Amino acid sequence: MALKTVLIDELRDMYSAENQLVKALPKLAKGSKNPKLKAIFTAHLAETKGQVERLKKVFAELGEKPTGQHCNGMEGVIEEGKDALEKDEEGSSFEAGLIGAALRTEHYEIAGYEACISMATALGLPKIVKLLNSNLKEELAAAKKITAAGAPIMKLSAKEPETPKEPKSGKEKYSAKKSKEDEAKAAPDLVGEPEPSAV
């Protein structure tokens, strides 16, 4: 498969991811009680809409359609955000869960844009590199803002008392079962692996 074909697939993945986020970010903003986080999520929604438009320009440059691929990775990351919104946590601990979900989203996008930029650079597509770099810079800035806003929230959360665990929901039981399956599947490949040495 030619690199340009791989790039187009990756870009379609990013286009799907950004469109999914246009729907997910308002839910994070609505769910958050922290005014700073709410403002960051709302501002990033406007940026995300702009990123969708930039991606459309990228596809126009390539003479391709942006649709044709669903981003399963982003769907999973967004599902993590939904889980955070449904937790019984309150106060800063609830907000800490939202921060974790939001950062996973940003870092997923950062990795995707970095891969696309590398490919576009190798293919000698400077206009596309420039458009993608604009999206990447916004994602990096959003991650920084979320981390900065999250620092005092994490400190407050660390001081909150532990609450007794409620019985697990069906979804939590399923997730715990899948986690054990993941561990069991990986176990044969981990046996006898040397410990990573300190650098």
pTM for the structure as a whole: 0.83
CATH of residue 128's domain is: 1.20.1260.10
- The parent domain of residue 21 ranges over 3-158
Residue 183 — pLDDT band, cuts 50, 70, 90? confident
Domain count, the chain: 1
Question: What does the pLDDT average to over 36-62?
Answer: 96
pLDDT reported for residue 165: 65
Q: What is the pLDDT of residues 118-174, one digit of tens each?
A: 999 999 999 999 999 999 999 999 999 999 999 999 988 888 777 666 666 676 677
φ, ψ dihedrals at 33, nearest 5°: -100, -10
Mean pLDDT of the chain: 89
Residue 193 covered by a domain: no
Percent helix / strand / coil, the chain, rounded to 5 = 80, 0, 20
Rounded Cα distance between 41 and 145, Å, is: 10
